[in-house]
Amino acid sequence: MPKLLRNLKSFYKTQKRDLPWRHTNDPYKILVSEVMLQQTQALRVIPKYEAFLKKFPTPQKLAKAKLSDVLKLWSGLGYNRRAKFLHQAAKIIATDGWTGGKLPGVGPYTAAAVEAFARNKPTVFIETNIRTVFIHYLFRRRSNILVTDIELLPLIEKALKQSKMQPRDFYAALMDYGSYLKQKGIKLNARSKHYTKQSRFEGSYRQLRGAILRAVLERPLTFDELIDITGRSSKDLAPIVAVLAKEGLIRLKNKKIYIAD
């Protein structure tokens, strides 16, 4: 642990990343960044984050927006359900404030990250870069048994206390350092029990979901028009359209597909 903390502090002092969400304590802006950063690299998020907050600077502005406008700004980030959840969360925050109960799409990690980065509270949480740092320093010699988050979380809590760093700086440092280690070829998340390899995007279910939403954002479409635009079969499209409707991203009316504004 002493070596981990020594190297972490040294790295952060000289190589910390200048990211726009680190210049605010606004919990709404932190929430936007955390939702965008789920399964998306920071460099891809930056322009989307800045454009999103320019259009929707407060939860009240986002709550009043049409879902189609939210999805248009979100386009390119992928995992569009995140935009839907953020839109729903903004409506709850605008009406009930941050004490309104559990927010859609905000799990334990995101809730704890907002508390740490916005309110500087010593919450304990883990994500992919944090796993990399702790597995690299504390479980490097273990090869036959996968590392669990249950093992890591008490160590993260202990490291936070021993570091005497502000929580927001501690977690920012871990994320930056973990990202750096990965760039150096130290990729250890496969040794975590919670690691899931992301499927190939080209030709995938995710790619077709995105193509359907982009097409319908342009204008309402019949199913036959959607087949022509995507070049995919009815068999490919039908189950995805059904799921998108169930998720509340699209709706069917008068034999046409619309964004569910």
CB 60 within 8 A of CB 97: no
pLDDT in tens, 153-190: 999 999 999 999 999 999 999 999 999 999 998 877 77
Instruction: Give the angle 161-166-167 at the CA atoms, nearest 5°.
Output: 75
The CATH number that applies at residue 249 is 1.10.10.10
- pLDDT for position 76: 87
Contacts of 85 (CB under 8 A, 6+ apart): 35, 103, 104, 105, 106
CB atoms within 10 A of CB 188: 19
Question: How does strand 256-259 pair with strand 250-253?
Answer: antiparallel
- Those residues of the chain that have pLDDT short of 50 are none
- Those residues whose C-beta lies under 8 Å from the C-beta of residue 261, and which sit 6 or more positions away, are 66, 67, 68
Last residue of a domain, one of 83, 100, 119: 119
Question: For the chain, what is the radius of gyration of the CA atoms?
Answer: 21
Q: End of a domain among 73, 101, 119? A: 119
Residue 20 forms part of a structural domain:
no
Residue 114 belongs to some domain of the structure: yes
What is the tally of structural domains in the chain?
2
Residue 192, pLDDT score: 77
Q: Please state the φ and ψ torsions of residue 218, each to the nearest 5 degrees.
A: -70, -45
Tell me, yes or no, whether 181 lies in a domain: no
Last residue of a domain, one of 69, 100, 119: 119
Q: Would you state the pLDDT for residue 211? A: 92
| Spatial CA neighbour of 130 closest among 107, 159, 106 | 159
**pLDDT for the residue 52:** 97
Structure tokens at 52: 């999103």
Q: If you average pLDDT over every residue of the chain, what do you get?
A: 92
235 located within any domain: yes
Q: Which residues are catalytic?
A: 34
pLDDT for res 199: 60
Residue 32 has a pLDDT of: 97
Please report whether residue 247 resides in a domain. yes
Q: Give me the pLDDT at residue 101, please.
A: 66
Give residue 238's domain range: 205-259
User: Is 77 a domain residue?
Assistant: yes
The CA-CA-CA angle for residues 121, 149, 78, to 5°, reads: 80
Instruction: Specify if 156 maps to a domain.
Output: no
Residue 44 in domain:
yes
What would the two tokens of residue 153 be? 């979380």
Whichever domain contains 50, its CATH number is 1.10.340.30
